[in-house]
Structure 1
Amino acid sequence: MQKKLIVSDPKIMMGKPVIAGTRITVEMILEKLSAGETVEQIRLTREAILAALAFAAQALRADVIYPVAEAVS
């Protein structure tokens, strides 16, 4: 049985999804990766980072419209 790496608990980080056993949110991992940080710089296991990416991808599959701000020229 595979260990659940992404968990959500209302008592931890206001219920945001986090890496199990930490206070590191999926949101923070995505922000760091989008800023150009590497897996080594984030200092989590590759498995944890891949779990965060998979969680985010699954969350975005929902039929929801996400407003995207237009870039300022």
Structure 2
Amino acid sequence: MSATAYDRIVRDPAVLAGKPVIRGTRLSVELVSTLLAEGWTETDIVTNYPGLSREDVRACLEYAGNGR
């Protein structure tokens, strides 16, 4: 996994029961992956979740793709 994904995705037992989330949010990798699977585009996600960047979405994909 790239340094970017490591920097952007965190796990904290106090946040969403330790699920991986985007740093500084309570938005899980699972949520972003599900939205993409449902047909949302990267643009749809960053438009509807203005606290996220395209790099955050890509980090979620990378994290999920590595079987984490």
* Superposition TM-score, scaled by structure 1 size: 0.73
Residue ranges of structure 2 left out of the alignment (5+ in a row):
47-51
Residue ranges of structure 1 left out of the alignment (5+ in a row):
61-73
Q: Of residues 12, 28, 32 in structure 2, which corresponds to 1:9?
A: 12
Q: Which has the higher helix share?
A: 2
Q: Deviations over 1:13-52 (max 9, x none)?
A: 1100000000000000010001111112212211111111
Could you list the runs of 4 or more consecutive aligned residues of structure 1 that deviate by over 2 angstroms after TM superposition? none
Q: Secondary structure at the match of 2:61?
A: helix
Q: Which has the higher contact order (CA 8 A, sep 6+)?
A: 2
* Superposition TM-score, scaled by structure 2 size: 0.78
Structure of higher CA gyration radius:
1
Q: Of residues 47, 54, 60 in structure 2, which corresponds to 1:52?
A: 60
Number of aligned residue pairs: give it: 60
